[in-house]
Amino acid sequence: MTDSILPLSLQDVSYEINGVRLIKDLTCAFEAGPRTAIIGPNGAGKSLFLRLCHGLLQPSAGTVSWQNIGGRNPRDAQAMVFQRPVMLRRSVAQNVDYALKLKGIERGERLHRIDEVLGRAGLRRLKDQPARVLSFGEQQKLALARAWALRPQVLFLDEPTASLDPAATHAVEEIVQAIHDEGTRIILTTHDLGQARRLADEVIFLHRGRMLERAPAEQFFTEPQNDLAQAFVRGELLWWRLGKDNRKHSAPKQR
Ligand SMILES: Nc1ncnc2c1ncn2[C@@H]1O[C@H](COP(=O)(O)OP(=O)(O)O)[C@@H](O)[C@H]1O
Ligand SMILES: [Mg+2]
């Protein structure tokens, strides 16, 4: 028996909605250690992939499994931060406190962790502010601090800076780096190649629900093997390579 929920293993994972396969036959494993960036154009399946890993979606076929930690729930050792932060109608500190309470952590330890993560995320002076009046960038830092307070073994980040300006993006990336430095396994999605270059040790390239390449970051950015990955790294749009029918499917959906 081990205390680590890693490796995470995906075996022949597919996910379909209304008969359309959106994720196709993914098989891969994530060991402890490096930071992984899942990249690919809009609609590639990055968010679905992350949700399947985190257990928010169940695969239509195949399995997602974690290392056995003696009957304890692997969900308790992982956290996820979304593109748009979801804040409770409470103060900054209470937002962190609530997440810790849900995990059954006692008050003294909660106060300690709240002070620690708010300090490290640069939010201490805002601790009594209502979370919902914070700027978008501050809210995203708070979402990270809240996840960090849980001391997860694995942290999933779904396009964590997609709607942020460069300064806020930099601040968020620094926090992600600090969380990694403390030993949390980072798995993030991004369509921002610059972010993948800055943050990732390895890259997974997804396109239309398939994993087309997985490689160490440096190798991926200097000589991607897959031709679509090459086009993506060159900054070319990928829709022109699709057939007419596929193009219809890849149009952004209104939700
Ligand atoms: N609930 C849903 N119903 C129908 N189609 C969906 C749903 N969620 C995602 N999709 C489709 O699955 C594909 C992958 O979506 P997503 O994982 O959000 O892509 P990405 O995060 O890479 O931009 C897209 O074509 C999207 O429109
Ligand atoms: Mg997405």
Asked if the model's pLDDT at residue 139 lies above 50, the reply is: yes
Question: What pLDDT does 247 receive?
Answer: 44
- How many angstroms is it from 208 CA to the middle of ligand 1? 10
pTM of the entire structure? 0.92
Question: What pLDDT does 119 receive?
Answer: 97
Structural domain count of the chain: 1
Residue 2 falls within a domain, yes or no? no
pLDDT band at 240 (very low <50, low <70, confident <90, very high): low
Residue 244 falls within a domain, yes or no? yes
Residue 38 falls within a domain, yes or no? yes
**Residue 57 three-state SS:** coil
- How many angstroms is it from 163 CA to the middle of ligand 1? 18
Q: What is the mean pLDDT of the chain?
A: 92
Q: Is the CB of 164 under 6 A from ligand 1?
A: no
d(CA 96, CA 114): 6
**Ligand sitting nearest the alpha carbon of 159:** 2
CA 8 to chain centre: 14
Residue 56 falls within a domain, yes or no? yes
Domain that holds residue 238: 8-249
> 10 Å Cβ neighbour count for 36?
22
Determine the average pLDDT of the residues in 209-228. 97
Q: Is the CB of 253 under 6 A from ligand 1?
A: yes
Q: What is the pLDDT of residues 146-155, one digit of tens each?
A: 999 999 999 9
What is the separation, in whole angstroms, between the first and last Cα of the chain? Answer: 44
Residue nearest to atom 2 of ligand 1 (CA): 17
Residue 99 falls within a domain, yes or no? yes
d(CA 166, CA 210): 30
Q: Is the CB of 255 under 6 A from ligand 1?
A: no
pLDDT band at 248 (very low <50, low <70, confident <90, very high): very low
pLDDT band at 71 (very low <50, low <70, confident <90, very high): confident
- What sign has the CA pseudo-torsion 128, 133, 137, 139? positive
Residue 51 falls within a domain, yes or no? yes
Question: What pLDDT does 176 receive?
Answer: 98
Q: What is the pLDDT of residues 3-38, one digit of tens each?
A: 899 999 999 999 999 999 999 999 999 999 999 999
Domain containing 88 — which CATH number?
3.40.50.300
Residue 194 falls within a domain, yes or no? yes
pLDDT band at 238 (very low <50, low <70, confident <90, very high): low
d(CA 249, CA 49): 18
Residue 234 falls within a domain, yes or no? yes
- Cα→Cα distances 112→76, 77, 116, Å: 20, 19, 6
